[in-house]
Chain A
């Protein structure tokens, strides 16, 4: 008995590496601390009622935000582990197999469990407020999406201590990811973690398309929508067309692994390159999914902090929508070296270069918005200004990579690594950080501390260039990606050391940001006006943090930036309070515990499939079915906020007389 438990545990838990034992200990200690706090302060009821079952888009957005910051920490630690290993030649810090696992989880977590949820967090925190709605179109589905993401991410992260991490690269190329190359459970964790959170992503895309189409304030025609809303709309279009491809591709890989299929194997008529073709058909649009909302954020911030209307609104909209269509025509540039022939490569090289045109148009529009504007250098604007040169260099190296014959030289070298980090950090991360600094006071009612923010800003920016500029050179010197060590004779040592220093500077920048958040909770400048930046769009017309129903009176919009025009008309005097007679009871969705249970059942099913424990997989799936049935027969899903409560809330905020 003891012997069988011991042999099970030694294969079930990951053993043998001090780093992983350290992680085990910290996971157990953190869990005990969290449980202790919840029991000691009797916070279970509060947690369940206010957060776990909420369908309020603002709270869901906040949960997305904190989950993604947690994932940024995990992905960042992975990055620092890799940089430590590569700092000098012949370092014995990580072994080859551990290094493989670390670069795999770094990539997957940063894209799917950091960038995507941070983006969905911003969608949720901002879009309904910006279009004058009281919630998203499907609040229940919104909660389902969040919990699917959350449990998908947990399942994926569990692989670090249980069963073993995936180690076939962030896109799990077969035949390496097939049973022949990866017989362990790591790839199963990869497939199920991404599948479960992927359903949630698809649902969020649908949710925001419908929200933007159907829930805009009266009078807000398409061409009067704020730029961020437009960018969410284009990003959601890409999501609903791209994510099904990912789901199908991973399902096919699962058939290969679980049922002995031969779709992508080397033998039995399999076609491994087809997987690469399919996965990039999702993978390339995916980078535009994450970057378009960042463009939208920059457009809002540039207009607000230059005190000018955005330059070239129509061309911005046209650029966003054409990028969302063009993004489906460029995927082959990820595998030019597959050798599909000159005609194929040329077609996709031209498509890739073409997508640089609308993107370039947007950069000029931001510059022209700033031209002769009254620029205020506050934190969101600083990140925006840092983004522009960074993204332009990233874009230029992207066009270099798009030249198919030259790509045979750059492919899979550190030049490529430097390029995509430059567009993803310079574009996506800077953009989302700018958005977080910008909308933080709206959601939490206080600004983030300026001084600590500036330290973080400069550490991130200097760290970024110190880290990634040497990597362009290393690429030309022949260093390929995914090597876990190299010899003194290669001559890569000095530049790698510089790069590692830069990575740690960014890590310190992140620590400053965590400190900044904690510090500002107590000492941050409180926002009593609801409009701390003197901004232009509707979300700033309501108190910070907004009441649960957002808008007591639904705003009527008659022009672009209508909140700003209103302010100008009354010469920036405070808005007059609303007479109580204009208020009414408000129709809102009820909280529900079904989404978290539904997603937890998916987690159980996924875990069962990972280890091929059929009893567990099928009981999880049964739970999924029961949750769906319970929801289908729940008719009591909405209620009215009583008029007295609305009046009381509005009076307390000084918004009603």
Chain B
């Protein structure tokens, strides 16, 4: 997936003329630093501050979502590519399944707190 597409057999057309640009070094470094910062913030909040439990949870979730976007933009090249928008379709399906997993787990498990 990097510079040389892992020897993908390409129907004998030989050369990879339509080589897509896979981002610059600058973008990767920015993405890397942002990821580290976004990971350190929750750690600091948990270990170094006296924020309330809800505040901590909200901070962690927010940082996680921003981190997800950073990964998509800087490493997964979500803005690139032409043709059918496979990546957008896949993301929507992925998002849908994540929502199903989280929401229904809360729903399924909430009965536990009702009976206790």
Q: Which residues of A contact B (CB under 8 A)?
A: 55, 133-135, 137-141, 213, 215, 217-218, 237, 241, 245, 271, 273-274, 277-278, 281, 325, 328-329, 332, 339-341, 344, 549, 554, 584-590, 632, 635, 637-638, 640
Q: Given A138-B6, A281-B101, A635-B4 in contact, is the A586-B12 Cβ separation under 8 Å?
A: yes
For the residues of A in contact with B, the DSSP-based class is mixed
Does B7 sit within 8 A of A, measured CB to CB? yes
Q: Which of B9, B11, B14, B105 contacts A589 (CB 8 A)?
A: B9
Query: Taking CB as reference atom, which chain A residue is nearest B86?
Result: A213
Does B100 sit within 8 A of A, measured CB to CB? yes
Interface residues on B, range: 20 to 34
- Chain B residues with Cβ below 8 Å from A218 are 11
Please, how many angstroms separate the alpha-carbon atoms of A215 and B4 in the complex?
17
**Stretch from B36-44, B47-55, B63-71, B108-116 that touches the partner:** B108-116
Q: Given A339-B115, A586-B12 in contact, is the A140-B7 Cβ separation under 8 Å?
A: yes
Q: Given A274-B109, A339-B111, A341-B111 in contact, is the A134-B3 Cβ separation under 8 Å?
A: no
Please, how many angstroms separate the alpha-carbon atoms of A635 and B10 in the complex?
17
Q: Are B86 and A134 in contact (CB under 8 A)?
A: no
Please, how many angstroms separate the alpha-carbon atoms of A548 and B110 in the complex?
56
- Chain A residues with Cβ below 8 Å from B109 are 271, 273-274, 277, 340
Q: Are B101 and A139 in contact (CB under 8 A)?
A: no
Please, how many angstroms separate the alpha-carbon atoms of A550 and B3 in the complex?
26
Q: Given A241-B94, A241-B97, A340-B108 in contact, is the A632-B2 Cβ separation under 8 Å?
A: yes
A-B contact pairs, 10 of them (CB 8 A): A135-B9, A141-B6, A215-B8, A237-B93, A274-B109, A332-B108, A339-B111, A340-B108, A554-B11, A638-B7
The 9 closest A-B pairs by CB, nearest first: A589-B7, A134-B9, A638-B7, A135-B9, A637-B7, A341-B111, A340-B111, A554-B11, A340-B108
What is the CB-to-nearest-CB distance from B93 to chain A, in angstroms, rounded to a whole number?
A: 8
Q: Are B12 and A134 in contact (CB under 8 A)?
A: yes
Please, how many angstroms separate the alpha-carbon atoms of A632 and B1 in the complex?
10
Query: Taking CB as reference atom, which chain B residue is nearest A141?
Result: B6
Q: Are B111 and A139 in contact (CB under 8 A)?
A: no
Query: B12-39: contact bitstring with A at CB < 8 Å (1 yes, 0 no)?
Result: 1110000000000000000000000000
Q: Which of B8, B86, B114 contacts A138 (CB 8 A)?
A: B8
Query: Taking CB as reference atom, which chain B residue is nearest A210?
Result: B8
What is the CB-to-nearest-CB distance from A237 to chain B, in angstroms, rounded to a whole number?
A: 8
Q: Are B2 and A140 in contact (CB under 8 A)?
A: no
Please, how many angstroms separate the alpha-carbon atoms of A589 and B10 in the complex?
10
- Chain A residues with Cβ below 8 Å from B105 are 274, 277-278, 281
- Chain A residues with Cβ below 8 Å from B12 are 134, 554, 584-587
Known contacts A340-B109, A586-B12, A587-B13; 13 further A-B pairs (Cβ under 8 A): A135-B8, A135-B9, A138-B6, A215-B11, A245-B101, A273-B109, A277-B108, A584-B12, A587-B9, A632-B2, A637-B7, A638-B7, A640-B14
What is the CB-to-nearest-CB distance from B75 to chain A, in angstroms, rounded to a whole number?
A: 15
- Chain B residues with Cβ below 8 Å from A281 are 101, 105
Query: B91-104: contact bitstring with A at CB < 8 Å (1 yes, 0 no)?
Result: 00110010011000
Q: Which of A237, A277, A588, A637 contacts B4 (CB 8 A)?
A: A637
What is the CB-to-nearest-CB distance from A209 to chain B, in angstroms, rounded to a whole number?
A: 9
Q: Which of A134, A278, A328 contacts B97 (CB 8 A)?
A: A328
Please, how many angstroms separate the alpha-carbon atoms of A612 and B106 in the complex?
35
- Chain B residues with Cβ below 8 Å from A137 are 8
What is the CB-to-nearest-CB distance from A302 to chain B, in angstroms, rounded to a whole number?
A: 30
- Chain A residues with Cβ below 8 Å from B3 are 635
Please, how many angstroms separate the alpha-carbon atoms of A635 and B105 in the complex?
46
What is the CB-to-nearest-CB distance from A6 to chain B, in angstroms, rounded to a whole number?
A: 47
- Chain B residues with Cβ below 8 Å from A637 are 4, 6-7
Q: Given A134-B12, A584-B12, A587-B10 in contact, is the A273-B2 Cβ separation under 8 Å?
A: no
Please, how many angstroms separate the alpha-carbon atoms of A344 and B105 in the complex?
10
Query: Taking CB as reference atom, which chain B residue is nearest A335?
Result: B108
Please, how many angstroms separate the alpha-carbon atoms of A589 and B6 in the complex?
8
Please, how many angstroms separate the alpha-carbon atoms of A587 and B9 in the complex?
6
